[in-house]
């Protein structure tokens, strides 16, 4: 529009003024670009810092979880060993009781047979 006003010869704006205004706008546009690039760089740096902080936090959480899982495994293994030992003891007791019952049964049969022979 400035060129248009100048070319029509209306004398509102001279060529020199158009060049000065254009130069000023070019300078402002360049400053805005530089400032915008700086802002973008700052945003990128902030984002990288936040990603690094999240990564660090995640690493700490993962390490803690691995430790807790290892502790749970150790505890579960200990409990399983204890239960297995207890089951073996109980099973041995049951076997001993079954053996005792078989012996008692055999003894009762002998007595019955002896009574039957005496009575017969």
- Predicted pLDDT at 119: 75
- Predicted pLDDT at 13: 75
Query: Count of domains in the chain?
Result: 1
Domain of 24? 2-119
Residues 6+ apart with CB under 8 A from 22: 2
> How far, in Å, CA of 93 to CA of 90, rounded?
5
pLDDT at 10 over 70: no
Residues 6+ apart with CB under 8 A from 33: none
> How far, in Å, CA of 70 to CA of 63, rounded?
11
Residues 6+ apart with CB under 8 A from 3: 18
Q: Would you say the pTM of this structure is higher than 0.85? A: no
């Amino acid at each position: 529009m400035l060129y248009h006003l100048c070319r029509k010869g209306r004398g509102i704006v001279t060529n020199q003024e158009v060049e000065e205004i254009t130069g000023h706008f070019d300078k402002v546009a360049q400053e805005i670009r530089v400032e915008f690039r700086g802002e973008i760089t700052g945003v990128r740096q902030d984002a990288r810092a936040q990603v690094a902080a999240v990564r660090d936090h995640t690493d700490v959480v993962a390490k803690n979880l691995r430790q807790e899982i290892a502790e749970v495994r150790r505890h579960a293994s200990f409990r399983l060993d204890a239960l297995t030992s207890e089951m073996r003891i109980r099973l041995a007791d049951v076997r001993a009781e079954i053996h005792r019952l078989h012996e008692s049964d055999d003894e009762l049969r002998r007595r019955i047979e002896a009574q039957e022979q005496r009575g017969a």
